[in-house]
Amino acid sequence: MSLLPKSPKARRRLYVVLAVAPVLALAAGLSLWAMRDSVAFFFTPSEVTAEKAPAGRHVRLGGLVETGSVAKKGDGSVSFSVTDNQASTPVVFHGDLPDLFREGQGIVAEGVFRPDRVFEAKQVLAKHDETYMPREVAEKLKARGEWRPEAGAPPPVPRT
């Protein structure tokens, strides 16, 4: 008893499926492997651990710029701390900061952690008006119920 269908038409279809399936699986695997470096996970300072965000892994760090932590250096870099009112993380950024960057401002920084656990930002994004807060930051703060009293109700979370 043979496992192949008796009909030549059905046998031909089976051969096509058996030939195409590995090619599609290989293409899907290569696509996922190529995209692994473009994925950036979002963390708040209280969620950052060496296990979740190891040194050298590209991540996003979001929260509020800690008051009194911004220091500009002579080499064009800026160091500051990002906080979520539970923990704070030191950040170093080389380049021009957004015009709306200031202390107490909600930001999202993209970059990597150095081995000394200082976040080296490649890009810093600041909110664009008084009601906007980055979606990830708003959801994390809303989940914990930590809104600044002067801000009033939570801002609307933009849907993408």
- pLDDT tens, position by position, 26-61: 999 999 888 876 777 888 888 888 788 888 888 899
Question: Which CATH number characterizes residue 68's domain?
Answer: 2.40.50.140
Task: Please indicate, yes or no, whether residues 121 and 51 belong to a single structural domain of this protein.
Answer: yes
- pLDDT of 121 reads 93
Does 76 lie in the same domain as 5? no
For residue range 101-154, list pLDDT tens digits in order.
888 888 999 999 999 999 999 999 886 555 556 677 777 777 777 665 455 555
Assess whether pLDDT exceeds 80 at residue 73: yes
For 104-113, write each residue's pLDDT tens digit.
Answer: 888 999 999 9
| Domain co-membership, 79 together with 22 | no
Neighbouring CB atoms inside 10 A of 61's CB total 26
Q: Which one has a higher pLDDT value, 80 or 143?
A: 80
Determine the structural domain holding residue 59 and report its residue range: 41-151
Q: Are 136 and 60 in contact (CB under 8 A)?
A: yes
In a domain, 71, yes or no: yes
> Do 48 and 19 share a structural domain?
no
Is residue 160 a part of any domain in this protein?
Answer: no
Same-domain check for residues 91 and 143: yes
Q: Give residue 153's pLDDT.
A: 52
pTM: 0.61
Are both 112 and 48 inside the same structural domain? Answer: yes
Q: Are 111 and 84 found together in one domain?
A: yes
- Answer yes or no: is 138 within a domain: yes
Non-local (6+) Cβ contacts of 56 within 8 A are 112, 113
Number of domains the chain is built from? 2
DSSP string computed for the chain: --SS-SSHHHHHHHHHHHHHHHHHHHHHHHHHHHHTTT--EEE-TTT--TTTS-TT-EEEEEEEEPTT--EE-TTSEEEEEEE-SS-EEEEEEESPPPTT--TT-EEEEEEEE-TTS-EEEEEEEE-SSSS---HHHHHHHHHHT---GGG-SPPPPPP-
Report if residue 158 sits inside a domain. no
pLDDT at 144: 75
